[in-house]
Amino acid sequence: MRIHCFINPDSLLENIVTLSPEESHHLARVLRVDVGQELTLFDGEGTRAEGVITRVDKKGVEAKITARETIAPPAVEITLIQAVCKPDRFELILQKATELGVRSIQPVVTQNASLPAGKIEKMIERGEAIIRNAAQQCGTAWMPQFLPLKRLTEVSFESSVTLVGSLHPNAKPFREAFQTLEKSGMKTAALLIGPEGDFTEEEVNAAVAAGAIPVTFGTQILRTETAAIFGLSVLTYELF
């Protein structure tokens, strides 16, 4: 099993690195690594390094860097604008979005986000850790940026193209929507996904008026986590 560990970008510049207390505890107590174990370190900003563990004790886990490489970022940076939803579904979305290579995740509060404010705050606090763990599992060199929580009305659609999953009367299938887009030279794209109760008609209309393109996910109604995964998969297929 290849071990991937996140490390602070500044620390990854050194030849000998000491892993964080959390990473050290996981390696020593859960994975029970020993001196000589090889591992991969990444900073979430495109640098990946190969290393070998040189020390495991109560002070932490230390590793020697044996090789470094710089990984280019994705040719098109994808942003997922995701309405907050039930914690288990939201965490799944963060995990899968990370695996699918999005560059940023913007959580938003919508009118149908039926969660107490305290639960939303706690869920957002866990977001960074969920993303980091997912990045370690899939071995990505670029970790998504988890943006501060906003209301949907506060989000500006600045990407080259923004797609919104909806039942808007002008919504098109993904394939048809992409046939009308000039993909060559596209640098950014965004996908807007609603909560369990979907967007309100006013929210969808406002997004479309701001430049978003409404798209359908087929004839069946999808759960919010399924819609996010499906939509990101299609974007990844079309743009990479």
pLDDT at 114: 66
Q: Are strands 38-42 and 47-57 parallel, antiparallel or unpaired?
A: antiparallel
Class (C level, CATH) for 77-239: alpha beta
pLDDT digits (tens, 9 = 90+) for 26-52: 898 899 999 999 999 999 999 999 999
Q: Find, among 29, 38, 27, 30, the residue nearest to 2 by Cα.
A: 38
The CATH 3.40.1280.10 portion of the chain extends over 77-239
* Residue 149, strand partner residues: none
pLDDT digits (tens, 9 = 90+) for 122-168: 889 999 999 999 999 998 999 999 999 999 999 999 999 999 998 77
Q: Which residues contact 39 (CB under 8 A, 6 or more apart)?
A: 2, 3, 4, 5, 27, 33, 50, 51, 52, 53, 63
Alpha carbons 15 and 65: distance in angstroms, whole number:
5
pLDDT at 119: 83
- pTM of the entire predicted model: 0.92
Alpha carbons 204 and 33: distance in angstroms, whole number:
51
Residue 203 has pLDDT above 80, yes or no: yes
- Which position has the token pair 């996981």? 26
pLDDT at 116: 75
Over the chain, what is the mean pLDDT?
92
CATH topology of domain 4-70: Ribosomal Protein L25; Chain P (2.40.240)
Q: At what angle do helices 87-99 and 224-239 cross, to 10 degrees?
A: 10
The CATH 2.40.240.20 portion of the chain extends over 4-70
SS3 state at 68 = strand
- Rounded percentage of the chain residues whose pLDDT exceeds 90: 73
